[in-house]
Amino acid sequence: MAIGNKSKKSLLITLGAIPKLVAVLSKEDAGLEFVVEAIVVLGSFARAASKENITALLQNHVLEVLLKGICHSDRRVVEASVRSLRTLYLSNLTPSDPLYENPSVIPRLVDLLSGSYTEAECAASVIAKCCQNPGHQALLCNSGAVDALLPLLTCNIPKILLPTLQCYTALSYQNEPVSLSMKAASYNGEGMESLLTHLLSRDKPDDVQLAAAKCLTNMFRVGLFDSTTSQSLLLKILGTCVRMCRKDKPLAVRAEGGETLAYLIEEDTELQQLAAISDHLVKTLIGFLHREDLDDDSYAAMRESSFKALASLGANDEDIRKKIIELESTMDHVVTGLEDTNPDVQLAAVKCLHSLSRSVQQLRTSLQDTMVWKPIMKLMHNASEGMLTVASSALCNLLLEFSPSKEPILEAGAVSLLAGLTKRPESALRLNGIWALMNMAYQADEMTKSKILEVLGPTQLFNLLEDPDTNVVMKTLGLMRNLLSGREVSPNITHIVDLTSHT
């Protein structure tokens, strides 16, 4: 009745089937056949995927039942449980913490990686979804996940390869010790790097190629190989990412390809330059920003991916930035992104603006023409720490002396906003706040200088000189230099000199 029929799933859930099944499952004398079938039905309910249905499953302790099931002595119960567990974790509503609270669960999942293909596929999918922080990564690595997954990399079945690669991607992300363990691992005499490189081959499915590229990208970003000694490998990874952005690829692959590309080239100028001349990439990425016939989720994913990739491409090279901005109303898309209701798209757009705002020429032209300072100032109010950090970095550039946006930003109340940042506990926000004020004060008129001193206050100014972050201290000294410089000395500036002489 339930399998393959969403309406009947929902009806049965409404009628209270879940607590009844869980109650009978909890009885000591429950027969194995019933246990297996009941777990299968609960897994089928999880495929209904609506928020209400997943919530009902979680509230009735189905997750705990399934975690207990994977530790059962009967293999049929184990396989049914891990399959239903994988299905339940397709929803982002399912929490990861319960896996790590029970000391027997993670070792059991790792053990299942060496079981049947079905068990291995489902266990790898669960691990990939639930590996979310350095603590999780370390525990899984110490439990033997790196070695247990290795034989699966030699399997030619895509539905096994993909969750395996996703596991390695989750394990290695921004984690050098785990990445080192991966690099040192080998199977039948072949190392991890070689196994992953084979999976970049064009005869592999797109999602497998991309997943292998993500694993290798993570290893590159933590410094396990560099662009000099591993140039051939990096070109293969770069080529794979660029190829996955093509218009003939599935939407999900294109979006993920752009994200992976952005991470790969983010800090490497040579890779940025190579990517910029590869396969009309800039034009392809800007094509991501067009709505076409996409649903809301797909459109958001494409835009986020595009903004991140464009931000990485234009991070260091003026010619690349010019190329990006001059194509197809790029800045109009960026402004729209800054005003997007999706916070992930909005943050990616801010990163893109921050990258493009490093251009002196563009500050005077395109960035001024589109008045990007308005949405930046707006979103800085009540923004998250991550958003505020990137937005304030972009604002630093918009406040440079040669930027036409400087005056309207001042009039919009930037002094109070930036002075507030200097009092934040986060070092990056204090730095951006004082840096922007330093830029604002450079060759400013006496009214602007007086306003900065009035709002910031001498006490806070000298507090910043004792900041534990040396960069904050240096920018504070830069602000004082800019406040003190000029042909005329105002009473407020004289006040600074008087304070300095007593310090």
- What residues contact 128, with CB distance under 8 A and at least 6 apart? 163, 166, 167, 169, 170
- Please give the tally of structural domains in the chain: 2
> At which of 370, 404, 427 does a domain end?
370
Same structural domain for residues 352 and 404?
no
Q: Which residue positions in the chain have pLDDT lower than 70?
A: 48-49, 328, 360-370, 402, 486-503
Q: Could you tell me if 392 and 364 lie in one domain? A: no
- Contact yes or no for 178/147 (Cβ under 8 A): no
- Identify the pLDDT of residue 493: 57
Exposed, middle or buried: residue 402 (CB in 10 Å: 0-12, 13-18, 19+)? exposed
Which pairs with CB-CB distance under 8 Å and at least 24 residues apart come from 103-110?
104/71, 105/67, 105/70, 105/71, 106/139, 106/140, 106/143, 107/143, 108/70, 108/71, 109/70, 109/82, 110/140, 110/143, 110/144, 110/145, 110/148
Residue 313 lies in a domain: yes
Using alpha carbons, select from 387, 302, 312, 300 the residue that is nearest to residue 356: 312
Q: Which residues contact 145 (CB under 8 A, 6 or more apart)?
A: 110, 113, 127, 167, 171
356, 400: one domain: no
Residue 308 lies in a domain: yes
**Shared-domain flag, residues 365 and 414:** no
Q: What is the pTM of this model?
A: 0.89
In a domain, 13, yes or no: no
429 closest CA partner among 380, 478, 375: 380
pLDDT at 301: 93
Residue 370 is predicted with a pLDDT of 62
Domain annotation covers residue 359: yes
Domain range for 265 is 254-370
Q: Is residue 34 part of a domain?
A: no
Assess if residue 74 is contained within a domain. Answer: no
pLDDT at 409: 86
| Boundary of a domain, candidates 308, 336, 370 | 370
pLDDT tens sequence across 92-110: 999 999 999 999 999 999 9
281 shares its domain with 366: yes
Same domain, 361 and 313: yes
Distance CA 162, CA 450 (A): 60
The last residue of a domain, from among 339, 370, 401: 370
Question: Is 396 found in the same domain as 329?
Answer: no
SS3 per residue for 402-470: CCCCHHHHHHCCHHHHHHHHCCCCCHHHHHHHHHHHHHHHCCCCHHHHHHHHHHHCHHHHHHHCCCCCH
**353, 396: one domain:** no
Secondary-structure breakdown of the chain: helix, strand, coil percentages, each rounded to the nearest 5? 70, 0, 30
pLDDT tens, residue by residue, 387-433: 999 999 988 888 887 677 788 888 888 899 999 999 999 999 999 99
Based on the domain organization, do 262 and 359 belong to the same domain?
yes
Confidence (pLDDT) at 376 = 87
Does residue 364 sit in the same domain as residue 395?
A: no
Task: Please tell me whether residues 359 and 261 are part of one structural domain.
Answer: yes
Q: Residues 264, 341: one domain?
A: yes
**Helical pair 176-184 and 206-221, crossing angle rounded to 10 deg:** 120
> Within a domain: residue 441?
yes
Number of DSSP helices (H) and strands (E) in the chain, helices first: 34, 2
- Asked if residue 35 belongs to a domain, the reply is no
> Is the distance from CB of 27 to CB of 72 less than 8 angstroms?
no
CATH number of the domain to which 397 belongs: 1.25.10.10
